A = this chain, B = another copy of it.
Amino acid sequence: MNSLSYALLSLLVRKPCSGYELRMLLDVLWPAKHSQIYPLLTKLKDKDWVTFEQVQQKGRPDKKIYSITDSGKDVLKDWLKTEPEPPIQRDEFLIKAYAIWLTDERKGKKLIMERLERYKSLLSQHESVLKEMEEEFGGDLRKKTSPQFGRFILFKRRLRMDKEEIDWCEWVLELLEQVE
Protein backbone atom coordinates (compact mmCIF):
# COMPACT_ATOMS: atom_id res chain seq x y z
CA MET A 1 0.00 0.00 0.00
CA ASN A 2 1.17 3.50 -0.83
CA SER A 3 1.35 6.77 1.11
CA LEU A 4 -2.07 7.83 -0.09
CA SER A 5 -3.65 4.76 1.53
CA TYR A 6 -2.19 5.74 4.87
CA ALA A 7 -3.25 9.34 4.40
CA LEU A 8 -6.82 8.09 3.92
CA LEU A 9 -6.62 5.91 7.02
CA SER A 10 -5.22 8.85 9.01
CA LEU A 11 -8.25 10.90 8.07
CA LEU A 12 -10.75 8.12 8.72
CA VAL A 13 -9.35 7.42 12.18
CA ARG A 14 -10.59 10.87 13.21
CA LYS A 15 -14.08 10.41 11.82
CA PRO A 16 -16.01 8.51 9.11
CA CYS A 17 -16.04 10.34 5.77
CA SER A 18 -17.26 10.04 2.21
CA GLY A 19 -14.77 9.85 -0.65
CA TYR A 20 -15.77 13.34 -1.66
CA GLU A 21 -15.05 14.68 1.81
CA LEU A 22 -11.74 12.81 1.96
CA ARG A 23 -10.62 14.45 -1.26
CA MET A 24 -10.93 17.88 0.29
CA LEU A 25 -9.32 16.93 3.58
CA LEU A 26 -6.39 15.42 1.69
CA ASP A 27 -5.42 18.82 0.29
CA VAL A 28 -3.19 19.60 3.28
CA LEU A 29 -1.89 16.05 3.66
CA TRP A 30 -1.38 14.35 0.29
CA PRO A 31 -3.27 16.03 -2.55
CA ALA A 32 -5.09 13.60 -4.87
CA LYS A 33 -7.83 13.61 -7.49
CA HIS A 34 -11.09 11.74 -7.02
CA SER A 35 -10.09 9.33 -9.80
CA GLN A 36 -7.30 8.08 -7.58
CA ILE A 37 -9.26 8.09 -4.32
CA TYR A 38 -12.36 6.11 -5.25
CA PRO A 39 -10.55 3.03 -6.61
CA LEU A 40 -8.17 3.09 -3.62
CA LEU A 41 -11.06 3.11 -1.15
CA THR A 42 -12.37 -0.03 -2.87
CA LYS A 43 -8.95 -1.65 -2.40
CA LEU A 44 -8.88 -0.67 1.26
CA LYS A 45 -12.32 -2.21 1.66
CA ASP A 46 -11.12 -5.44 -0.01
CA LYS A 47 -8.36 -5.62 2.61
CA ASP A 48 -10.93 -4.98 5.37
CA TRP A 49 -9.14 -1.88 6.59
CA VAL A 50 -12.26 0.20 6.01
CA THR A 51 -16.00 -0.48 5.73
CA PHE A 52 -18.69 1.69 4.22
CA GLU A 53 -22.34 2.42 4.66
CA GLN A 54 -24.50 3.61 1.76
CA VAL A 55 -26.38 6.77 2.68
CA GLN A 56 -29.41 7.98 0.75
CA GLN A 57 -29.88 11.72 0.46
CA LYS A 58 -32.70 13.91 -0.77
CA GLY A 59 -31.84 16.17 -3.68
CA ARG A 60 -28.25 14.86 -3.73
CA PRO A 61 -26.63 11.71 -5.08
CA ASP A 62 -26.19 8.80 -2.67
CA LYS A 63 -22.90 8.62 -0.84
CA LYS A 64 -20.75 6.02 0.84
CA ILE A 65 -19.58 6.83 4.33
CA TYR A 66 -16.32 5.03 5.00
CA SER A 67 -15.11 4.07 8.49
CA ILE A 68 -11.80 2.58 9.58
CA THR A 69 -11.83 -0.98 11.02
CA ASP A 70 -9.78 -2.31 13.94
CA SER A 71 -7.35 -4.01 11.55
CA GLY A 72 -7.12 -0.76 9.58
CA LYS A 73 -6.19 1.03 12.78
CA ASP A 74 -3.55 -1.64 13.45
CA VAL A 75 -1.83 -1.29 10.07
CA LEU A 76 -1.90 2.48 10.42
CA LYS A 77 -0.25 2.30 13.84
CA ASP A 78 2.41 -0.09 12.49
CA TRP A 79 3.14 2.25 9.59
CA LEU A 80 3.46 5.22 11.95
CA LYS A 81 6.44 3.54 13.61
CA THR A 82 8.43 3.37 10.36
CA GLU A 83 10.68 6.19 9.16
CA PRO A 84 9.02 8.60 6.72
CA GLU A 85 10.34 8.88 3.17
CA PRO A 86 12.16 12.16 2.48
CA PRO A 87 9.83 14.92 1.25
CA ILE A 88 9.62 15.82 -2.43
CA GLN A 89 8.82 19.33 -3.60
CA ARG A 90 7.70 19.90 -7.15
CA ASP A 91 7.35 23.59 -7.70
CA GLU A 92 7.52 25.09 -11.18
CA PHE A 93 7.96 28.50 -9.64
CA LEU A 94 11.40 27.48 -8.36
CA ILE A 95 12.54 26.67 -11.89
CA LYS A 96 11.32 30.06 -13.11
CA ALA A 97 12.97 31.82 -10.18
CA TYR A 98 16.20 30.00 -11.00
CA ALA A 99 16.11 31.39 -14.54
CA ILE A 100 14.86 34.85 -13.53
CA TRP A 101 18.15 36.50 -14.56
CA LEU A 102 17.22 35.78 -18.20
CA THR A 103 14.08 37.90 -18.21
CA ASP A 104 13.64 41.65 -18.08
CA GLU A 105 12.95 43.44 -14.81
CA ARG A 106 9.21 43.79 -15.39
CA LYS A 107 8.64 40.07 -15.96
CA GLY A 108 10.92 39.17 -13.06
CA LYS A 109 9.02 41.38 -10.66
CA LYS A 110 5.71 40.03 -11.95
CA LEU A 111 6.82 36.46 -11.23
CA ILE A 112 7.73 37.27 -7.63
CA MET A 113 4.77 39.54 -6.97
CA GLU A 114 2.29 36.94 -8.12
CA ARG A 115 3.94 34.43 -5.81
CA LEU A 116 3.74 36.96 -2.99
CA GLU A 117 0.03 37.55 -3.58
CA ARG A 118 -0.64 33.83 -3.80
CA TYR A 119 0.96 33.22 -0.41
CA LYS A 120 -0.69 36.23 1.21
CA SER A 121 -4.01 34.74 0.16
CA LEU A 122 -3.02 31.26 1.38
CA LEU A 123 -1.89 32.74 4.69
CA SER A 124 -5.25 34.38 5.31
CA GLN A 125 -7.08 31.17 4.35
CA HIS A 126 -4.95 29.13 6.73
CA GLU A 127 -5.37 31.73 9.45
CA SER A 128 -9.14 31.55 9.22
CA VAL A 129 -9.09 27.73 9.35
CA LEU A 130 -7.01 27.96 12.53
CA LYS A 131 -9.38 30.54 13.97
CA GLU A 132 -12.31 28.20 13.35
CA MET A 133 -10.44 25.30 14.95
CA GLU A 134 -9.59 27.46 17.94
CA GLU A 135 -13.26 28.45 18.36
CA GLU A 136 -14.53 24.89 18.04
CA PHE A 137 -11.95 23.01 20.09
CA GLY A 138 -10.08 25.60 22.17
CA GLY A 139 -7.45 24.20 24.53
CA ASP A 140 -8.02 20.63 23.29
CA LEU A 141 -6.01 21.52 20.17
CA ARG A 142 -2.84 21.61 22.26
CA LYS A 143 -3.47 18.25 23.91
CA LYS A 144 -1.24 15.64 22.33
CA THR A 145 -3.86 12.88 22.60
CA SER A 146 -6.68 14.87 21.03
CA PRO A 147 -7.75 13.79 17.51
CA GLN A 148 -7.44 17.47 16.58
CA PHE A 149 -3.80 17.72 17.59
CA GLY A 150 -2.28 16.56 14.29
CA ARG A 151 -4.40 18.84 12.16
CA PHE A 152 -3.65 21.73 14.50
CA ILE A 153 0.14 21.39 14.38
CA LEU A 154 0.08 20.96 10.60
CA PHE A 155 -1.86 24.18 10.10
CA LYS A 156 0.50 25.99 12.45
CA ARG A 157 3.34 24.70 10.28
CA ARG A 158 1.64 25.91 7.09
CA LEU A 159 1.22 29.35 8.63
CA ARG A 160 4.92 29.58 9.44
CA MET A 161 5.87 28.46 5.93
CA ASP A 162 3.42 30.90 4.32
CA LYS A 163 4.92 33.78 6.27
CA GLU A 164 8.45 32.74 5.42
CA GLU A 165 7.57 32.54 1.72
CA ILE A 166 6.08 36.05 1.92
CA ASP A 167 9.16 37.47 3.66
CA TRP A 168 11.43 35.83 1.12
CA CYS A 169 9.43 37.25 -1.79
CA GLU A 170 9.73 40.73 -0.28
CA TRP A 171 13.47 40.25 0.12
CA VAL A 172 13.80 39.20 -3.54
CA LEU A 173 11.73 42.19 -4.65
CA GLU A 174 14.16 44.48 -2.82
CA LEU A 175 17.06 42.92 -4.73
CA LEU A 176 15.17 43.36 -8.01
CA GLU A 177 14.60 47.02 -7.13
CA GLN A 178 18.36 47.66 -6.94
CA VAL A 179 20.00 49.45 -9.88
CA GLU A 180 23.37 48.08 -10.90
Chain A residues packing against B (C-beta within 8 Å)? 3, 6-7, 10-11, 13, 28-31, 73, 76-77, 80-81, 83-103, 105, 107-108, 111, 114-115, 118, 142-151, 153-154, 156-157, 160-161, 164-165, 167-168, 171-172, 175-176, 178, 180
Contacts and interface: CB of A to CB of B under 8 A. Distances in A.
Given A10-B98, A164-B161, A87 B93 contact: yes
B94 A29 contact: yes
B144 A100 contact: yes
22 contacts: A3-B92, A6-B95, A7-B95, A10-B95, A13-B99, A29-B94, A30-B90, A76-B102, A77-B102, A80-B103, A83-B114, A84-B115, A98-B150, A98-B151, A99-B150, A100-B153, A108-B144, A143-B180, A145-B180, A156-B168, A157-B168, A164-B164
Nearest to A110: B81
Contacts of A157: 165, 168
A7 B92 CA distance: 9
Contacts of A81: 103, 107
B87 A178 contact: no
B31 A88 contact: yes
Q: Is the interface of A mostly helix, strand, loop or mixed?
A: helix
B101 A145 contact: yes
A96 B87 CA distance: 12
B31 A95 contact: no
Contact of A107 (B80, B145, B148): B80
A173 to B, nearest CB: 11
A49 to B, nearest CB: 14
Contacts of A76: 99, 102
A145 B107 CA distance: 13
